[in-house]
Copies of this chain bind each other. A is one copy, B any other.
């Protein structure tokens, strides 16, 4: 029996068609998308006849050696992938892009998101003789793509895409075509760009900036864009059943602040979330600080709305690497100090508002309140620039069980006590949506805040998956 670890990943993808430095630009683009995944990275290239790839574990610079990158020079087409560091056993077999060998032509696939009916389809494929080497949902999609019977590759792609449910922003490299597709709910971002006359796609626009590409526009939910020939681009949709369920957490936490959705920078969205939180929170304080790096903008917005001065009262150590293991409890307690440190004479004697983007298990929040108080803060009020995380995500984010979520187990009042803060305020769900709409979003998934899942979670109705969950796997 295979497990369902594939359900909880967050990744970054990139693709480029007909550029003389395809592999190098893909490498640079993946470097800028590294925040979306640090477990592994890979590049698959094509020379129009065959596909070749390199992939490895760890950060991009560890995963792909200079010699490997060198070996991919001279190919005009490429896709790339960075993979999220999920906890537990990680295996090279799971690192993407996947590369499949077929007499009709090779296929490279890089996928961000999560399919919600992968187990169901896999059952069906296995009963027809298919054989799988990983537990990844992406391998299921690849099988569907390759099994297509039509001589027309796009016909096969549409057929395959219409069978899968869930969240997916994918790039698919064939010998004579590159395709980019975003699921018809538009959960994960996917962007279209152009560099030196060649088209490219990326999970975020920061990748365009990294390679000097122009950001053309967001790829729409259900849209299937294919590149072929010298510069031929074909705009199409694989589905007419379009919804707008962009992941709220992409806005709140995942995306890089200099990335843009709908031509608006995430930087400004996060400032606006901070302003909205300020408008709902109504607090008196001396300074407001953000937890670095992801909450600095919300803190700035909070400050602008309230007039409370914004200070950089917490520092993050830039050299966090693997930490050593010590059996001594007194040393372990000191270890948490290695990540964040407060600036005493900014904090001392002040009523502090500290802004964070979310609370998952509450461990960091507890440490931060304690650190601020021991640095002399008179009061510590915590503001969260998103609503309480109460439900798991099945669309590609690694928060999979209620048990892990502090807000799923406790009231906000209880959480405040546990964290040790003088007050704890979350942004409202309505407030959050209002902000997104100001920035031209057409609709967002808020399932992790509300339990309203916009896409059916088919696999979770399967008896064996229920059994796995019952057993706590």
Q: Residues of A at under 8 Å CB distance from B?
A: 1-2, 21, 24-25, 27-28, 31-32, 34-35, 38, 49-50, 59-62, 66, 69, 92-93, 98-106, 122-123, 125-126, 128-135, 142-143, 146-147, 196, 206, 209-212, 256-258, 260, 263-265, 267-268, 293, 296-297, 300, 304, 309, 311-312, 315, 317-319, 321-322, 324-326, 328, 330-331, 333-335, 337-338, 341-346, 464
Contacts of A21 in B (CB 8 A): 328, 330-331
A247 to chain B, nearest CB (A): 21
Contacts of A211 in B (CB 8 A): 334, 337
The answer to whether A132 touches B102 (Cβ under 8 A) is: yes
- Contact A345-B27, Cβ < 8 Å, known A2-B101, A133-B99, A147-B129: no
Q: CA separation between A146 and B125, bound complex, in Å?
A: 12
The answer to whether B101 touches A210 (Cβ under 8 A) is: no
A439 to chain B, nearest CB (A): 10
The answer to whether B2 touches A135 (Cβ under 8 A) is: no
- Contact A343-B257, Cβ < 8 Å, known A69-B324, A324-B69: yes
Contacts of A147 in B (CB 8 A): 129, 131
The answer to whether A297 touches B312 (Cβ under 8 A) is: yes
Q: CA separation between A106 and B322, bound complex, in Å?
A: 32
How many copies of this protein are present in the complex? 4
The answer to whether B337 touches A212 (Cβ under 8 A) is: yes
- Contact A265-B324, Cβ < 8 Å, known A101-B134, A210-B337: no
Contacts of A265 in B (CB 8 A): 343-346
A15 to chain B, nearest CB (A): 17
Q: CA separation between A49 and B103, bound complex, in Å?
A: 35
Contacts of A103 in B (CB 8 A): 1-2, 122-123, 126, 464
A436 to chain B, nearest CB (A): 16
The answer to whether B61 touches A321 (Cβ under 8 A) is: yes
Given A128-B128, A196-B330, 20 more pairs with CB closer than 8 A: A1-B103, A27-B324, A31-B338, A32-B341, A35-B318, A61-B321, A62-B321, A93-B93, A102-B126, A126-B146, A129-B130, A130-B130, A130-B131, A131-B142, A210-B337, A210-B341, A257-B312, A293-B318, A296-B312, A318-B318
